[in-house]
Structure 1
Amino acid sequence: MKLLETTIKNKVLESMISILDKDRDKILEANKKDCELFNKEDRAMYDRLVVDNKKIDGMIASVKEVLGQEDPVGKVKSERNLENGLNVTNKTAPFGTIMIIYESRPDVTIEAAVLAFKANNKILLKGGKEALHSNKALEKCWHQALEENDLDTNWIQLLHMNRTETQEFLRNPSEKLDLIVPRGGERLIAFVKEHAKCAVLVSGRGNNFLYVDKDADWEKSIKVILNAKTHKISACNALDKILVDAAVPNYEQKLKELDSILKEQGVSVLVDEKTGSILKEEEVIKDEAIWHEEFLAMKCCIGTVENLDEAIEKINKFSGGHSSTVMTKDSSKAMKFMEQVDSAAVYHNASTRFTDGGAMGVGAELAISTDKLHHRGPLGLEQLVTNKYFVFGDGQIRV
């Protein structure tokens, strides 16, 4: 795709803001069709699917936010004048064509596209069938905004393919793909990695841990645990696993208190053997594979560890590499935890729910990457570019 002037890109976004506001009723009606067809037993997926006026306000806010951000393309990263007279300049450049595959979440159709477009990338949107009507309505808004500014609608395309067709497209794409971002659960990620022929940036899997150190403030720990677990169970930054240090003062009493508070909030609890010797009513974990699992439900595991090192080892073995929290008043322990736990975001005395582009000051995000190349954490506008070397000479040859 050709490089667009910043003013043109911003005009498209201005048009999109107006169109989203004007077409609220059409978007809500389309989403109503999707919601009526959906099996509401999957609460997490249903929560992601629903669009209301507040959600549309959020879409508009995302576009406005990106509109106000500096164009990330063509920024000089480094510049060197070599002894041979060459000038070597490294600048940011678009990826080219990005494909994002996601489940439910019609708002991704707005957030992913606005970021990709402002960074001068073409984007292919492969949403789930459960959000088909919503995504088609939002794609129509994008196409109208592009056409109003004399741009081809193929900058932003919604792909209408079933699983088999998607598999074949990943193996033999009809056009060059530069990056694929699967945003969803483990099965989706594994499917994409198995079949894709280009770079895949993994995102979306949570399975986040929180460790309560023996020196933690217990009241703060309860507050943070409840927020991380119950605030939004459908989010990839929700809490699934809680590790409690056996040396916590009044350990047995506090375990029972934690269990009782979680159950009062409707959270079902699974426990390891040591914890189960105290919380005798809870189901004891038989298969350690459950420590790898992301729940996206009102469910969590509580385990007991002997010290900080054991907590770090367990988190690095089982977590999804997304977000991890340590609750402690000991700053040296906190720093050891944060340096040694292998997660995209590590927290000291705070909820994992903050791993989000907006909450972390990044702005609108394409996804939360748990990969280490090319970026880890929220994928905002600045992360949707690669780099390119511009080498200026005057007939130099290498000898």
Structure 2
Amino acid sequence: MNKYIEEMGKKAKIASQKLLTLDTKIKNNALRAIADEIIEKKEEIKAANKIDLENGKKAGLSFALLDRMELTDARIEGMAQSLREIAAFNDPIGEILTGWNHKNGMSIAKKRVPLGVIGMIYESRPNVTIDAAGLCLKSSNAVILRGSENAINSNIYLSRLFSEVGKKVGIPENSVQLIEKPERELVKEMITLNEYIDVLIPRGGKGLKKFMIENATIPVIETGAGVCHVFVDESADIEMALPIIENAKTQRPSTCNSIETVLVHKNIASEILPKLTDMLIKDKVELRYSKEALEIVGNRSDVKLAQDEDFGAEYLDMVMSLKLVDNVEEAICYINEHGTHHSDSIITKNIQNAEKFLNEVDSAAVYLNASTRFSDGGEFGFGGEIGISTQKLHARGPMGVRELTTTKYVIRGNGQIRE
């Protein structure tokens, strides 16, 4: 075991014990103070981020990765606002979920408690450093962060700012730690640190997910991979469908809740496809259509023929595939087979088809007549998120402070023994 990682684990475990008794006021004061410091140090944050962006451009990173990495004034202000919102939430720790009395007189209560030590691995987006640290602090969890090496300067600045301000306000030392060394072998060491880390939360694409499944020896909450869809049903209002698709694809294409594929009912295809194609070409989206869809728009030179690998691809870029389906049943089967159980939407006026889609699509978030871009902790009122869980155990969908807790039973007696 690498001593650098092992020491971080030991320190995190000690911090997690101290966090158990930390007063809510101290946590909230720290979150507000850190938010203020983020605004105060906005230019320094951007300076650190600029180094990462310049290095990324030299390394030939894609537009999508550079966009995810960039910290603009608005995104920095968003980080601070997120911490203020988290501070305003009720503290989940210690909440009694239910309770009853045993026939022998004992009282039994189910109580909300922290997970303990969280190992967080994330790609590209440095704002996750603040979101994850803030949510973990509010839920009284210690956290070990491992961000992308492409954003190392941004992540180091933000994690140190969080820890330094937090320490002044009374947050236990080492509650938030960042792996500052870039060696990839350290990730493999981190995800086998069973003695100290209780839960791993990877936030990234299919490659990270596959790596975690094959190598982690600690329980994993899968998040991040987003192959999202919009299905335009036969009865859809086209004037509603067009801006929803445009928003879901172009508003911020590098995020996991942007759509990658549009499914169109064959009976409405000739009506919507010309308008949809013109709109997205104007938006500079690279379009990849199935053979049947391409025939309807006239085999245009600015639309490519989709290949098999385009269906199920996570582009995270201004690229979108489209295919025709015969009915809502085919759309549901396609999404369940090719999606990542993240976020999917149906555009329809048909109540039966809407309910069928919402009930049978096996995703963490399903939408009727709305953009998938709302799958976000901030939009759901959580103040932020540590990730969007695409698995089924414990937590699913955007993960806020409550999803970073577990429960235990507290039983109080006065001498009872079992006969």
| TM-score w.r.t. length of structure 1 | 0.95
Q: 1:180 matched to which residue of 2?
A: 200
Between the aligned partners of 2:46 and 2:272, the Cα distance in structure 1 is 46
Amino acid of the structure 1 residue aligned with 2:83: V
Q: Which amino acid aligns with 2:292?
A: K
State the aligned residue count.
Answer: 395
Indicate which of 168, 181, 185 corresponds to 1:164: 185
Q: Could you say which residue in structure 2 is the equivalent of 1:298?
A: 318
Report the CA distance shift for 1:246/1:151 in structure 2 as closer, same or farther (over 3 A).
Answer: closer
> Which secondary structure does the structure 2 equivalent of 1:363 belong to?
coil
Tell me what 1:342 maps to.
Answer: 362
How far does residue 197 in structure 1 lie from its aligned partner after superposition? 1.1
Give the equivalent residue in structure 1 for 2:55: 37
The 2-side partners of 1:13 and 1:290 are apart by 43
1:292-349 per-position Cα deviation (integer Å, ceiling 9, x unaligned): 2111011111111111111111111111111111111112211111011111111111
Structure 1 residue 41: Cα displacement = 4.5
Q: Over aligned residue pairs, what C-alpha RMSD do you find?
A: 1.5
Query: Equivalent residue of 2:296, what SS?
Result: coil
Deviation of 1:106 after TM superposition, in Å, equals 1.2
Match in the other structure for 2:146: 126
Separation in structure 1 between the aligned mates of residue 114 and residue 290 of structure 2, nearest angstrom: 48
User: Contact (CA 8 Å) 1:15, 1:148: kept in 2 or not?
Assistant: no
1:135 paired residue number: 155
Q: 2:211 matched to which residue of 1?
A: 191
Q: Which secondary structure does the structure 2 equivalent of 1:292 belong to?
A: coil
Q: Which string of whole-angstrom CA distances, capped at 9 and with x for unpartnered residues, describes residues 141-166 of structure 1?
A: 11212221344331000012421121
1:231 equivalent in alignment to 2:251: yes
Which residues of 2 match residues 301-340 of structure 1 at below 5 A?
301-340=321-360
Alignment correspondent of 1:258: 276
Task: Tell me which residue corresponds to 2:9.
Answer: none
Q: Secondary structure at the match of 2:210?
A: helix
Larger deviation: 7-16 or 179-188?
7-16
1:239-279 CA-partner distances (Å, limit 9, x unpaired): 1111111122xx32432332222212111111223223324
Deviation at 1:181, TM superposition (A): 0.7
C-alpha distance in 1 between matches for 2:33 and 2:264: 52
Letter in 1 for 2:191: L
On the 8 A contact 2:192/2:218 being kept in 1, the answer is: no
* Overall identity of the aligned pairs, in %: 37
Residue 386 of structure 2 is matched in structure 1 by 366
Q: Confirm whether residue 269 of structure 1 aligns to residue 287 of structure 2.
A: yes
State the distance in 1 between where 2:326 and 2:36 align: 57
Q: What secondary structure does 1:373 align onto? A: coil
SS for the counterpart of 1:360 is coil
How far off is 1:370 after superposition? 0.8
* Aligned residues of 1:328 and 1:348 also touching (Cα < 8 A): yes
Counterpart AA for 1:167: K
CA distance in 2, matches of 1:392, 1:243: 57
Q: Spell out, residue by residue over 1:356-385, the C-alpha distance to the aligned partner (whole angstroms, 9 max, x if none).
A: 112122321111111111111110112111
1:171 match: secondary structure: coil
Distance 1:228 1:119 in 2: 31
CA positional deviation for 1:19: 2.0
Say whether the 8 Å CA contact 1:76–1:89 is kept in structure 2: yes
State the shift of 1:172 in Å. Answer: 4.1
The amino acid of 2:279's aligned partner reads I
Q: What's 2:304 paired with?
A: 283
Aligned-partner Cα distance in 2 for 1:28–1:297: 23
Unmatched segments (≥5 aa) in structure 2: 1-15
Gaps of 5+ in 1: none
1:134 to partner: Cα distance: 0.9
Q: CA deviation at 1:130?
A: 1.0
Residue type of the partner of 1:106? Answer: P
Q: In the aligned structure 2, how far is the partner of 1:41 from the partner of 1:197?
A: 31
Q: Which runs of 4+ in 1 moved over 3 A?
A: none
Partner of 2:13: none
CA distance in 1, matches of 2:226, 2:67: 17
Deviation at 1:397, TM superposition (A): 2.1
**CA deviation after TM superposition for structure 1 residue 21, in Å:** 2.4
Report the residue type matching 2:321 in the other structure. C
Three-state SS of the structure 2 residue aligned to 1:277 is helix
- CA distances 1:84-113 after superposition (whole Å, capped 9, x unpaired): 222110010000001111112111111110
Cα deviation per residue 1:194-249 (whole Å; 9 max; x = unaligned)? Answer: 2111111111111111111110001111111111011100111101111111122x
Tell me the secondary structure at the aligned position of residue 100 of structure 1.
strand
2 CA distance for matches of 1:240 and 1:16? Answer: 36
Question: 1: distance between equivalents of 2:116 and 2:217?
Answer: 15
Residue pair 2:91, 2:139 contacting (<8 A) in 1 also: yes
